[in-house]
Chains A and B, each alone.
Chain A
Amino acid sequence: MSVGIHEFGGYVPIQRLKRKAIADANAWFNPALRGLGKGERSICNWDEDSVTMAVEAARDALGGTGSGSIDAVYFASTTLPFQDRQNAGIIAEALHLGSELLTMDVAGSQRAGTTALTAALKAAASGDRIIVAASEKRRTKAASPIELTTGDGAGALVIAEGDGAAKLLGRATHAVDFVDHYRGQDEAFDYFWEERWIRDEGYNKIVPAAVNAALANAGIKAGDVNHFIFPAAAGRVAAGLAKKLGIPDAAVRDNLQGTVGEAGSAHAIVMLVHALEEAKRGDIILVASFGQGCDALLFGVTDAVNDAKPAAGISGSITRRREEENYNRFLGINNLVNMEQGLRAEVDKQTGMTTLFRNKEMILSLVGGKCSECGTLQYPKSNVCANPNCGAVGTQEDQPFADMPAKLNSFTADSLTFSPDPPAYYGMVQFEDGGRGMLDLTDVDPNSELEVGQPLRMVFRIKEFDTKRGFRRYFWKATPDTEQEGA
């Protein structure tokens, strides 16, 4: 029985920091950074992390939340928000997948994304339907080259039995403890060794070995590859490898350096999703990703790829962008500079684990209620129906709101309350089929005016950081829905 990629989706945060702004700020220290100061990189809003981006990518792949018959969620990232609290479990809750599933975090290497994919392909052979979500938000030192070359983003795949949109043709993995860079326990930043050595002894020796093994495994010639994915930031690395391997130069995929940046362990998946969006039946896709060895996988694209195309994907995410030129804001919202946040930031943000657990569907899955007597939708779900003409007791059934379109009823931009990126936008969010809430808004363009009646959609975000205890609260926020606006 074959296994393959059945659905796919992607997410890139809306803000794009001009690399020139980073280079201009730091060239006094390292003039060589000017050479990297072209194009733009995606940056998370203050309320995004690898978990929230993975949720959005998975929703894009699944076409929403609550999709049934998922047996497992594999989450790949080297920037997991929690070291001990399963991050894949948060994603599964946000996606409202129920509790009868396997959740797993895959980390520890820049090839974590393809490793999770490899494991999922193996598990799919025994009948499991698995979400592989890979996401990265790398923390970088000011004036470091990777501050310019990396970007934030996520990709998600649904892996199952059958050919799907892209059938697995063959694969190979070589594990080599080649330490091009590392991040030790409790260290905030990566430590790098010389680039020339990484190229000569790493990319050019380890990758060909794994790729040739995968080609042999699949019985495919290098010359037949239509899409070669190698997620290195440096421009000529993938082309050099292609030449060495006999892969046509035209097959080398854009590494998205000009528009997104390299999304760490997620980047192979991000590029794979991007390739699937553009691939046609019969195309052969080769994904190779490097990190203490190399994973190489070959897929054959089927007819089903057209029906599997996601609403946004990576292409849609790249188009949906807002330029940011304020490098100081980037430093500020990522705690890379010691900002004066004011006394209002000092309020204790402790989260009661009992409170959260008791209400986890309400908070993490955005599930409210629907009155079985009068049909009124309400959030949160409550014992007594909110409809003033009903008031029935104990009649509410679960009602998910995460995918329901909404409109803005009233709003403000608040400069008084503490926000890591003031002003804080919030307002009365009114759902299309009923139900509403006074909720935070996010990704609001400061240069555009909000309007009563404006379309909104819900996104999974960080609500608060508890800096005292290293915890972060997740919840849903509303964001202007440009798709609906255009409709």
Chain B
Amino acid sequence: MASGIKDKVAILGMGCSKFGERWNDNAEDLMLEAFTEALEDAGIEKSQIDAAWFATAIEEQHVGKSGIPLAMALRLPYIPVTRVENYCASGSEAFRGAVYAVASGAADIALAVGVEKLKDTGYGGLPQRSRGALNDQFWSNNSAPGSFAQLASAYQAKHGVDKNDLKRAMAHISVKSHANGAKNPKAHLQKAIDEDRVMSAPMIAEPLGLFDCCGVSDGSACAIVTTPEIAKSLGKTDLITVKALQLSVSNGTEAQHNSWDGSYFMTTQTAAKKAYEEAGIKNPRKDLSMFEVHDCFSVTELVTMEDLFISPEGGAINDIMDGFYDSNGSIPCQIDGGLKCFGHPIGASGLRMLYEMYLQMLGRAGARQREDNPVFGLTHNLGGFPHQNVAAVCVVGQDGA
């Protein structure tokens, strides 16, 4: 078995732009905003960066292809820039590239940047686009909410859950994220809401109403990574290191084989198991201090709490209603507002989740700062549809923990 990534790489600096409807900014402006913060935080010069990974998912909507847009936006000094795309998990993919480059010794300091400029379509929701020449001829006419909404019907059928109980738990998830987002000045949506408002909102894709869906946002997030040794030599203390980086990609079993019942994510479960092993986490419900999941829709967050083995199978609703995942609960989930309220500029989201873990562990999270001293934080970044997707699970934590 591979020895894994644990404690081989430390986060030197991070940055994140304000997320939201950035009508007057281009993707390049957002990237520079995140990068400037990260570079200052890292305390290095741009010339010290050896290589960069650049994540965007819907590049045809803004910067176009290749690593060039990042190199040009930041005027990187002719270093390697690799553009990565893995649906909505692209940000985690950029981070993985940079971390592995440092771990391999190929780079001393590496950069990961994710960006998405989505609010140039003229309509709400994600851009409508081709899924590929053949896919377009047989895939259902599915949107993101319509694909994820189906988790609800399958989950209800499997666990014999009442439709309204599920809808109420989903509403609690959104209310919680809105409350958290209200304490985050960089969040796209900063208004608290109540459950009744969620329950009575217009239907987007049954049973998902407007408030069950995350914000579609413009934004960028960025990480600069290096070895713990170099970080220390640069004067850093209280290092946050990478404990696990796992990715699991559907091979078509869910989409084509009747062994999958549609109520959970095979990929998330696979990546989570490997990540806990890599990080040395025996009992995630006890050991994790906090986590950020890919809450593109409320119901995604609900089933993911089970897929990450934090809630028992069929037990997420109870934990949610008990406040287990609230900001003052045992393990806060989406303490920054999550995709739901911080926003979801696709390529940036995986890095944004890590940004929150990083801020919380360094005690820099302002009004939403946890009072206990977070040790392990997990991020879960998902791309695609429940029946065919990529799931990235990353664990970061205090150095030596």
Residues of A within 8 A of B (CB): 342-344, 347-349, 351-352, 355-356, 359, 362-363, 376, 378-380, 382, 386-388, 409-419, 423-424, 426-428, 430, 434-440, 450, 452-453, 463-464, 473, 475
A343 contact set on B, CB distance < 8 A: 121-123, 128
Is there contact, CB below 8 Å, between A359 and B137? yes
A413 contact set on B, CB distance < 8 A: 203, 205-206
Cα distance A13–B261 when bound, in Å? 32
Q: Which of B121, B202, B204, B385 has the most CB of A within 10 A?
A: B204
B258 contact set on A, CB distance < 8 A: 430, 434-436
B262 contact set on A, CB distance < 8 A: 409-410, 428
B156 contact set on A, CB distance < 8 A: 452
**Chain A: CB-nearest residue to B207:** A412
Cα distance A342–B206 when bound, in Å? 20
Contact A410 B153, CB 8 Å, known A348-B130, A378-B257: yes
Is there contact, CB below 8 Å, between A386 and B252? yes
Question: Which of B143, B145, B150, B257 touches A410 (beta carbons < 8 Å)?
Answer: B150
B206 contact set on A, CB distance < 8 A: 412-414, 423
B146 contact set on A, CB distance < 8 A: 412, 414, 416-417, 424, 426
B119 CB, nearest partner CB in chain A, Å: 13
B363 within 8 A of A: no
Contact A426 B142, CB 8 Å, known A376-B257, A386-B252, A410-B154: yes
A96 CB, nearest partner CB in chain B, Å: 16
3 smallest CB-CB distances across A and B, nearest first, come from A414-B146, A426-B140, A410-B150
B134 within 8 A of A: yes
Within 8 A of A (CB), among B108-161: 121-123, 125, 128-130, 133-134, 136-143, 145-147, 149-151, 153-154, 156-157
Is there contact, CB below 8 Å, between A437 and B128? no
Cα distance A343–B221 when bound, in Å? 29
Contact A414 B137, CB 8 Å, known A347-B130, A452-B157: no
Question: Which of B137, B143, B257 touches A475 (beta carbons < 8 Å)?
Answer: B137
B233 within 8 A of A: no
Interface size on B, residues (CB 8 A): 45
Contact A438 B151, CB 8 Å, known A376-B257, A423-B206: no
Is there contact, CB below 8 Å, between B387 and A428? yes
Interface string of B245-270 (1 = CB under 8 A from A): 00000001101111101110000000
B204 contact set on A, CB distance < 8 A: 414-416
Q: Which of A347, A415, A453, A463 has the most CB of B within 10 A?
A: A415
A430 contact set on B, CB distance < 8 A: 258
A419 contact set on B, CB distance < 8 A: 141
A436 contact set on B, CB distance < 8 A: 255-258
Is there contact, CB below 8 Å, between B150 and A428? yes
B97 CB, nearest partner CB in chain A, Å: 28
Is there contact, CB below 8 Å, between A388 and B130? no
Is there contact, CB below 8 Å, between A438 and B139? yes
Is there contact, CB below 8 Å, between A417 and B141? yes
B387 contact set on A, CB distance < 8 A: 428, 438
B261 contact set on A, CB distance < 8 A: 409
**Chain A: CB-nearest residue to B125:** A416
A328 CB, nearest partner CB in chain B, Å: 21
A247 CB, nearest partner CB in chain B, Å: 50
Cα distance A427–B253 when bound, in Å? 16
Cα distance A245–B56 when bound, in Å? 77
Is there contact, CB below 8 Å, between B141 and A473? no
Contacts A/B (CB < 8 Å), 18 sampled: A343-B128, A349-B136, A351-B136, A359-B134, A363-B138, A409-B262, A410-B150, A411-B153, A412-B147, A412-B149, A413-B206, A414-B145, A415-B204, A416-B146, A424-B146, A426-B141, A427-B150, A428-B262
A380 contact set on B, CB distance < 8 A: 138
B118 CB, nearest partner CB in chain A, Å: 14
Cα distance A414–B130 when bound, in Å? 18
B137 contact set on A, CB distance < 8 A: 351, 355-356, 359, 363, 463, 473, 475
Cα distance A410–B141 when bound, in Å? 15
Is there contact, CB below 8 Å, between B123 and A414? no
A376 contact set on B, CB distance < 8 A: 257
Is there contact, CB below 8 Å, between A344 and B123? yes
A379 contact set on B, CB distance < 8 A: 256
Question: Which of B129, B130, B136, B143 touches A416 (beta carbons < 8 Å)?
Answer: B143
Contact A416 B150, CB 8 Å, known A343-B121, A430-B258, A437-B138: no
Cα distance A438–B202 when bound, in Å? 25
Contact A439 B257, CB 8 Å, known A409-B262, A414-B146, A452-B154: no
Question: Which of B125, B150, B259 touches A411 (beta carbons < 8 Å)?
Answer: B150
A415 contact set on B, CB distance < 8 A: 202-205
Cα distance A424–B146 when bound, in Å? 9
**Chain B: CB-nearest residue to A368:** B256
B257 contact set on A, CB distance < 8 A: 376, 378, 386-388, 436
A332 CB, nearest partner CB in chain B, Å: 17
A346 CB, nearest partner CB in chain B, Å: 8
Cα distance A464–B128 when bound, in Å? 14
A441 CB, nearest partner CB in chain B, Å: 8
Cα distance A342–B133 when bound, in Å? 23
A409 contact set on B, CB distance < 8 A: 154, 261-262
**Chain B: CB-nearest residue to A346:** B128
A185 CB, nearest partner CB in chain B, Å: 30
**Chain B: CB-nearest residue to A347:** B128
B263 contact set on A, CB distance < 8 A: 410
A412 CB, nearest partner CB in chain B, Å: 4
**Chain B: CB-nearest residue to A348:** B130
Contact A475 B256, CB 8 Å, known A413-B205, A427-B150: no
A439 contact set on B, CB distance < 8 A: 138, 140
B133 contact set on A, CB distance < 8 A: 352, 355
Question: Which of A382, A424, A437 touches B141 (beta carbons < 8 Å)?
Answer: A424
B149 contact set on A, CB distance < 8 A: 412, 414
Cα distance A195–B148 when bound, in Å? 56
Is there contact, CB below 8 Å, between A355 and B134? yes
Cα distance A440–B142 when bound, in Å? 8
Other 20 A-B pairs with CB < 8 A, given A352-B133, A410-B150, A426-B146: A342-B123, A378-B256, A386-B252, A386-B256, A387-B257, A413-B205, A416-B143, A417-B205, A418-B141, A419-B141, A423-B205, A423-B206, A424-B146, A428-B150, A428-B154, A436-B256, A437-B256, A440-B140, A440-B141, A475-B138
B109 CB, nearest partner CB in chain A, Å: 41
Interface string of B182-206 (1 = CB under 8 A from A): 0000000000000000000011111
